[in-house]
Amino acid sequence: MAKEREGEKDGNKEMKQKKEVELEKSTVAVPQKSKKKTEQKSDQREQKEEQKQTELSSPAVSGAKEGASATKIPDEKKASTNEKGASKSQKETTEKKGEEKKSEVVSETIYTISLAAAYRTKPCYKRTNKAIKFLLSFLKRHTKSENVHISPSLNSYIWKRGARRPPRRLQIKAVKDAEGRVTAELL
């Protein structure tokens, strides 16, 4: 019996040694990564950005693609460019954009709107959609305009808590311009 126990102990020792050798082999066989994937991706992005900047800043390339010949600007077109290098048509479009932004304000009104109807009439996962529709219909009714827009800040405020829990009450400022466009902003 004593000899059998010694044999069992020897067998256990051999098994332990085999397991240790297998563990060492498995740890040696797996190569360790020097960088994580996210680090590698960020390095690649930085390299691409550097390449773009060098392409844009190089004087040899004047907006022409590789293999294409550079075109010369006729003297007539050179005369139509202003001191900063922008053409007159570009200047005119920037002025038009500025005019659109500075449109005359006809009226500004502050409203406090209860969105409780959105909680009562729709299932919980459609409440915020209903609140947006209710807000638009409220503004159309009170401002007598079909051209109603919600500002991005107001939209994000309404959607902040998700589709199930829009705010119960809103204070907004409705700005109506000369063209009849109404923009709702968060107060």
Least confident of 18-22, 28-32, 170-174: 28-32
The two most distant CA atoms of the chain are separated, in Å, by: 112
How big, in percent rounded to 5, are the helix, strand and coil portions of the chain? 55, 15, 30
The residue with greater pLDDT, 154 or 77, is 154
Tens of pLDDT, residues 81-101: 444 444 444 545 545 555 555
Could you please report the per-residue DSSP string of 16-50? HHHHHHHHHHHHHHSPPPSS-HHHHHHHHHHHHHH
Query: What pLDDT shows up at residue 157?
Result: 97
Q: Is 159 exposed, middle or buried (0-12, 13-18, 19+ CB in 10 A)?
A: middle
The residues spanned by each domain of the chain are 102-186
Residue 72 scores a pLDDT above 80 = no
CATH classification (class only), 102-186: alpha beta
Contact 108, 174 (CB under 8 A): yes
Strand partners, 176: 107, 182
User: What is the pTM for the complete model shown?
Assistant: 0.47
Q: Which residue has the tokens 């609140």?
A: 131
Residue 34 scores a pLDDT above 70 = no
Tens of pLDDT, residues 100-158: 556 789 999 999 999 998 888 879 999 999 999 999 999 999 999 999 999 999 999 99
Contact 111, 134 (CB under 8 A): no
